[in-house]
Amino acid sequence: MNLREIFNKKFYLNFSTVLIIFFLDRITKIIVIDLHQDNFGQQIFTSEYLNISLIWNQGIAFGLFSYNEKYIYNIFTVLIALVIFIILIMIYNNKGIKRFSLLIIMGGALGNFFDRIFFSAVPDFFDFHIGNFHWFFFNVADIFITFGVIFMILIEIADNNKLNSYDKN
């Protein structure tokens, strides 16, 4: 395989998708961090169902596995880097909506990975709630990762339904 085959139109489209998601995530995080500083650490926005307030997440998705131990944080960071590499291989080996799902997961994963490396924590700021029930804090990268995973699950369900319908015939 030569470079011309690798760097074709699809490569640039795929790369642009990841880059757009990465930059959307970066821009929103920079804005929220700046607003947080301007508000002297107070909540940025409050409403009946949504608060925007900055927290620094040292764990993984939705603040799970947050530890003060630096070595545990580093182990998770290495594991996340490995998962990103595996997703990259999966992107290369898939097409269509499955590839798109993996691309949006990759864009979000790279956004959060960037923060883990440069800030040793991920800024989360969306806080959806109903009354006193609050969902986990999350950010734009988490939204793309979640939608990508949902798409992958739906694709697998659809593929399994197709296989099962073929088995019946």
Residue 145 domain-assigned? yes
Buried b (16+ CB within 10 A) or exposed e, 53-66: bbeebbbbbebeee
Residue 146 domain-assigned? yes
Task: Write out the two tokens for 1.
Answer: 């395989």
Query: Over the stretch 104-148, which tens digit does the pLDDT of each residue have?
Result: 999 999 999 999 999 999 999 999 999 888 888 999 999 999 999
Tally of domains within the chain: 1
- Tell me the pTM: 0.85
Give CA–CA dist 112/124, Å, rounded.
10
> Which residues are annotated as catalytic?
124, 142
Range of the domain at 126: 45-168
Give CA–CA dist 93/80, Å, rounded.
20
Give CA–CA dist 127/134, Å, rounded.
7
